[in-house]
Structure 1
Amino acid sequence: MAKQFARIEDPHRKFIARQHIFFTASAAEGTRVNVSPRSTEALRLLDDLTAIYLDRTGSGNETAAHLLADGRLTIMFCAFDGPPVILRLYGQGRMIRRNSPEYLSLLAEHYGGEEPLGARQIIRLDIDLVQTSCGYAVPLYDYRAERPNLDRWAEAKGQEGLDAYWREKNLTSMDGLPTGLLDEPEDQMAS
């Protein structure tokens, strides 16, 4: 039932465009596996082998830590309505630091230059395998709306409060790995 593809094809792109949620999965040797739900409002497909998402502040920063230590990342979509299907994008991921030239370029080109309060980094996935499977066991759900909670929380914190939160909660993973969140970008360190 599973089918593998070398790249994102047009039917995959159309399926992804209809989804409201995706999940990321990452791990590094000796760590817990992290799985996180995310809104597809943050996701962009740059081409048939590259996906990015604008990552917003969370209670942890496991994905960034795992990417620094290991690099493996999987993004999964599943149909909660319509025909059943699961689609996974496998590959190597990396964190792109907020305010780095690459981050600012991606923000301008793919997000209209709009950075929601609480944006902390962009995650990039260089895809080496696309796989679909049946999705027969995925239950049917109806999408109602995006939750406003994260926006309200970030607005209440303000940028200064977010900076303090990042220092307190987002610099290491639950397993003690560094996330690189507030490290100086290498291109800035050289200047």
Structure 2
Amino acid sequence: MGSITERLSKKDIEFIENQKMFFVSTAPKDGKINLSPKGLDDTFKIIDENKILWLNYFGSGNETAAHLLEDNRMTIMFCAFDGEPNILRLYCKAKAIQERDDVWEEYISHFSTKRAARQVFEVTIENVNNSCGMGVPLYDFIGQRDDLTNLYNKMSKEEHITYMKKKNLVSFDGKDTKLFED
């Protein structure tokens, strides 16, 4: 049986801190719903029981940013793939913070790796849902993939920007991400 609360508990925070990956879902008013698995160490910071900062590196798409311009709802989900079963869903409002924004330096300072950062998402939790998770399979964690960080480390800041201008200015549905616009 699931339970819904309005903020993270200490138990929720501990659960999140022990997970190796999470899933993010957003949707525009019209178009494809996006669901993305996320990993990488040091990209998810719990500021308090209702605020999270999530560091987003550039990649092949930029769906989340485009969707949030139309509808600021975001769902973040964690699943226990080992230990006690649990599924934790965070129902949130979110906005993309970019390097040009006044709070960028404050927000990016929460993360040890800043290279290749595209956005920091400021996420406000409205509801927390814990459910049983007994149907989630058990998996052994081997490690985070190095491919993405190796790629970022080979590229200069200028190359990061060139890549983002080529791949991250519009969503797969053709929606503007406003990545380099005011």
With normalisation by structure 2, the TM-score equals 0.95
Give the letter aligned to residue 9 of structure 1.
S
Q: What corresponds to 1:121 in structure 2? A: 119
Q: What corresponds to 2:65 in structure 1? A: 64
- Structure 2: which 5+ residue stretches go unaligned? none
How far the C-alpha of 1:19 sits from its partner, in A, is 0.5
Q: Deviations over 1:13-68 (max 9, x none)?
A: 11111101011000011110111111252000111111111100110000000011
SS in 2 for 1:106: helix
SS in 1 for 2:108: helix
1: CA distance between counterparts of 2:46 and 2:150? 28
How far the C-alpha of 1:10 sits from its partner, in A, is 0.8
Q: Is the 8 A contact 1:20 1:41 kept in 2?
A: no
Moved more, 39-48 or 126-135: 39-48
1: CA distance between counterparts of 2:91 and 2:62? 20
- Structure 1: which 5+ residue stretches go unaligned? 185-191
Higher relative helix content = 1
1: CA distance between counterparts of 2:155 and 2:111? 23
Give the letter aligned to residue 73 of structure 2.
R
Q: What corresponds to 1:132 in structure 2? A: 130
Aligned counterparts, 1:24-35, within 5 A: 24-35=24-35
**Mapped pair 1:19 → 2:19:** yes
SS in 1 for 2:138: coil
Provide the aligned length of Structure 1 versus Structure 2. Answer: 181
SS in 1 for 2:42: helix
SS in 1 for 2:155: helix
Q: What corresponds to 1:95 in structure 2? A: 96
Q: Deviations over 1:71-126 (max 9, x none)?
A: 11011000000011000110111000125331211222x225x41x2111101111
SS in 1 for 2:103: helix
Task: Give the one of 144, 158, 179 matched to 2:156.
Answer: 158
1: CA distance between counterparts of 2:156 and 2:145? 19
Q: Kindly, what percent of the aligned residue pairs are identical?
A: 38
With normalisation by structure 1, the TM-score equals 0.90
**CA RMSD, Structure 1 to Structure 2 (Å):** 1.3
